[in-house]
Structure 1
């Protein structure tokens, strides 16, 4: 590099150093905010396994989705599990995961009624 030339990444490097110095604190705040959601998702999975007598090796997925359609709640929690490679069960709770309770899950006798043969879960 010749004298008088600007150092590569001059200002950008300083900004990156500043971000690194503040980023750990930001990451901790994000983790603590998400801790409640993570715990809620784990609890929903446990309730689902218990309610429908699912073994630990059965995949259970819990997802929060937003809905922009008129009349939809702003956030829904969708729970999906598979009892066979082609047998998917799905149900929704019309609220964020952190607000879901065991009473929001369908009763055990509905296990076959919640079999979903469609990738579209836009209704109930």
Structure 2
């Protein structure tokens, strides 16, 4: 009988890094951001009933100091450009 253990603290593969980079590029293009704007992509776990297990959270920090939060209820590696576009439609600037 074998049990597999997934170490949550193990280094993540290149897939998540590449996916986060793609999300940043899509965000910059969709919002016409410039170099002074910062885009941060993080993955959070949710343990509440009915909540998806993973959530991609994108923060856009403008050079003027405003912050915009965009949430996508998927793991970072599962996010596609169409998911970002849909999330941008419902998020507040």
- The alpha carbon displacement at 1:110 in A equals 4.4
CA–CA separation in structure 1 for the residues paired with 2:15 and 2:57 = 17
Aligned residues: 82
Higher helix share: 1
CA–CA separation in structure 2 for the residues paired with 1:72 and 1:101 = 20
Q: Does 1:56 align with 2:56?
A: no
CA RMSD of aligned residues (A): 2.1
Instruction: Return the structure number with greater relative CO, CA threshold 8 A, min gap 6.
Output: 2
Ranges of 4+ aligned residues in structure 1 off by more than 4 Å: none
Structure 1 regions of 5+ residues with no counterpart? Answer: 1-29, 116-124
Give me the TM-score of the superposition, normalised by structure 1: 0.59
Q: Does 1:35 align with 2:11?
A: no
Give me the TM-score of the superposition, normalised by structure 2: 0.77
Match for residue 67 of structure 2? 88
CA–CA separation in structure 2 for the residues paired with 1:47 and 1:40 = 11
Structure of greater Rg: 1
